[in-house]
Amino acid sequence: MRWDPSFFRTSALFWPIAPAAAKLEGLTRWPEPEELSCLFDGDAPVSFVLATPRSRRGRRLGASERYDALITEQRVVPTRRGSWHDLLNALVWATFPRAKRALHARQHRAITSRLGPDLRLPGGRTRDQDAVAMLDEGGVVILNHGEDAPSPIVFGHAIYERLVCDGRVSLWAAAIPVSTDDVPNAPGARVELADATLQELLSSSTEMKREDMGSFRLLSSSRP
C-alpha cells in the first residue's frame, strides 16, 4: 500500500501510538528501517534493521539466529521495507518498550528450550507460546476501575494493521483485564501503566493460555 503519513488520524483507536507516529508525519515516502529509531524518546532499546529474505529451502537457523533471539541478544529487530505490519510493530515498540522486550525474551527462552540438536522445533507452539503470540498480534489491555467505563489500550500491532489496511472500525481483540484503584486521566500515563503491567505479566514464570484471555470488541469511538 502507498505511504500515508497521517494514517493514525483516521481512527481514535490509534491514540496509544499516535505520539510516536506523529514523528513520521513529515515524511513523503516510506521510512527506511534504520530510520525508525527516531520513534523512541531518549535512548532506543532496540534498533531496526532491514530484514534479509530467507529461502524456504535454506539451512535451519540456530538458536541465536532466530527472530526473537536477535531482539533479545543483539537488540535488533528485522524489519521489512514498505510493510505496514512491520512499521506498526516498530510503533508499538516505541510505545510499549518494556512489554515488547519482555515478550520477545519470553519467546526466545521458549524456543531455545525446545530446539533439538538438529535445529528443529517439535510440532506446533506450546500453549504459552500461542497465547504470547496472540497478545503480540491482537492484544488489548483493558483498564477497569469500579463502575467506570473500561479503558481499552491497543497493544497488538496486527490490530493497528487491520485499521490501516481494511479500515475496520469494529474488531475483536484478546483482552488482558487490569483492575486499578485509579485510571490515570493523561493518555501517556495510561500507556505507561499498560506497558508496566504487560512487562510484569510477560516476565513471570506463570504459563499463559489463550482461554485465560477475555475478548473485547473495539469500536472506532474508543478514545483515550
> For the segment 154-170, what is each residue's pLDDT rounded down to a tens digit?
999 999 999 999 887 78
At residue 223, does pLDDT exceed 80? no
- Residue 142 DSSP SS3: strand
Residues 41-71: pLDDT tens digits? 999 999 999 998 776 666 677 666 889 999 9
> What is the pLDDT at residue 129?
93
- What is the C-alpha to C-alpha distance for residues 20 and 217, in angstroms, rounded to an integer? 24
Output 106 or 118, whichever has higher pLDDT.
106
Output 99 or 111, whichever has higher pLDDT.
99
Sequence-separated (6 or more) residues with CB below 8 Å from residue 56: none
Residue 143, strand partner residues: 151, 178
Output 112 or 69, whichever has higher pLDDT.
69
Residues 127-159: pLDDT tens digits? 999 999 999 999 999 998 877 778 899 999 999
- The radius of gyration of the chain from alpha carbons, rounded to an integer in Å, stands at 18
